[in-house]
Chain A
């Protein structure tokens, strides 16, 4: 092999750079999401475990029901009636009033970028509380 030394050194450096994120973060667990649950409301429209894994399906179902057939009232698992609305119900002042303290926590942690808020208006937060967008 011509220039074997150079090639092997190059490969080693290349591999080292490529795997940099892995060994740089080795041992240090990333900061887990720090979710702040609403103070006033204690119960969501479905049990916590269901919401944790299936909130996107719930929202999708809500979206189709509201937009396409005008069925806007939702009966939760415990019989409570809700207006199906991300902006006006989920993120109302009494519930998940701060996007940065609820939605963004897990979405940033898992690296998902939902485009809900391209159209839906998120609740107002004081500017100093609002960290820079991560995406």
Chain B
């Protein structure tokens, strides 16, 4: 096919115009304008629609402080409520313990801080169960290895999330996570959640995807603090203690987490790996 000057100029002109549309659409997508961009365009360029609801809790960097010694003995309130609101199947009902799904759970000091253990550790620490969950790292290894970008760190507030629609179940993230915070659905989890116990406002997962704690992103959007933190407040209050779980903005110098960190010595899990966890432990 031959090409004359006229045809070449036509194609060149159209291409230039077309390439100019994308940055323009990019720039417009985040702005508040007097007009709306047609949805078909948004879809074409994978731009989000809508806006963040006004009642949502926002922060520059969400973080959690676990004040370990405030954890009442034998209390599992945080785990129970988390697994209930997020439709996490009950491990006791599953065929194999290896099928267990964990968002937040309790572990021994040895397992939580393997680099810090030694024979003569404080007696109390040996007994206390440590609350562990996804650390919502600033430099998450799971996000780096995910081949489909199913797991990602939210730019605005640093929460590490899963997009279940995109997860292909390759489990690279599970291998990458140094904290064992991720679980794979070896079986259909719905079989182990009774219909009357389901939280009908939150989805379940399907067989073949990886899941983990989401820092209650769905609750933050409604202006509520994470379910575990809320429950912990009530549970510890009953026992006359200060809450063991505290949630807040790490970038805000006046936040509750910053105040606690300022006045207490704190630990983070495996900081030497450089993932920069956002869950702090006061022991």
Q: Which residues of A contact B (CB under 8 A)?
A: 46, 54, 57-58, 60-65, 67-75, 83-84, 87-88, 115, 118-121, 124
Interface residue B276 (Cβ < 8 Å from any Cβ of A): no
CB–CB A87/B39 < 8 A: no
Contacts A63-B165, A121-B203 given; does A70 touch B156 at CB 8 Å: yes
Could you tell me the distance in whole angstroms from the C-beta of A86 to the nearest C-beta in chain B? 9
30 contacts between A and B (CB under 8 A): A54-B39, A57-B43, A61-B48, A62-B49, A62-B50, A64-B46, A64-B48, A65-B48, A68-B48, A68-B154, A68-B161, A69-B154, A69-B155, A70-B52, A70-B220, A70-B221, A71-B51, A71-B52, A72-B50, A72-B52, A73-B50, A73-B51, A73-B53, A73-B54, A83-B53, A84-B50, A87-B202, A115-B206, A119-B206, A121-B204
Whether, in the assembled complex, B282 has its beta carbon less than 8 Å from a beta carbon of chain A, the answer is: no
B200 at the interface (CB under 8 A from A): yes
How close is A129's CB to chain B, nearest CB, in angstroms? 16
Contact check, B163 vs A57: say whether CB atoms are below 8 A apart: no
Interface membership of chain B positions 36-68, coded 1 if the CB is closer than 8 angstroms to chain A and 0 otherwise:
100110110010111111101000000000000
**Across-interface contacts of A72 in B (CB, < 8 A):** 50, 52-53, 56, 221
With A57-B43, A65-B50, A69-B154 known as contacts, the answer to whether A118 contacts B206 (CB < 8 A) is yes
Q: For B43, B50, B54, B204, which residue has the most chain A Cβ atoms within 10 angstroms?
A: B50
Shortest distance in angstroms between A118's beta carbon and chain B's nearest beta carbon? 4
Residues of A within 8 A of B46 (CB): 64
- Could you tell me if B50 and A74 are in contact, using CB atoms closer than 8 angstroms? yes
Say yes or no: A70 contacts B217, CB within 8 Å. Answer: yes
**Other-chain residue from B50, B200, B203 in contact with A119 (beta carbon distance below 8 A):** B203
Q: Is the CB of B221 within 8 A of A61?
A: no
- B201 pairs with A57, CB closer than 8 A: no
Q: How large is the interface on B (under 10, 10 to 19, 20 to 34, 35 or more residues)?
A: 35 or more
Complex CA distance for A73 and B221, rounded to whole angstroms: 10
Asked if B260 is at the interface (CB within 8 A of a chain A CB), the reply is no
A69 and B221 alpha carbons, distance in the complex (Å): 11
| Complex interface: chain A residues within 8 A of B192 (CB) | none
Are the C-beta atoms of A71 and B165 separated by less than 8 Å?
no
CB nearest neighbor in A for B166: A67
Q: Give bound CA distance, A62 to B43, whole Å.
A: 10
Let me know if A71 and B40 touch, CB within 8 A. Answer: no
Contacts of A120 in B (CB 8 A): 203
Cβ contacts under 8 Å, B155 to chain A: 69
Residue B187 lies at the interface, judged by CB distance under 8 Å to chain A: no
Q: Which residues of B contact A62 (CB under 8 A)?
A: 49-50
A119 near B48 with CB under 8 A, answer no
CA distance A87 to B204 in the complex (A): 11
Given contacts A61-B48, A84-B50, A119-B206, 6 further A-B contacts (CB under 8 A): A68-B163, A70-B217, A72-B53, A73-B53, A118-B206, A119-B203
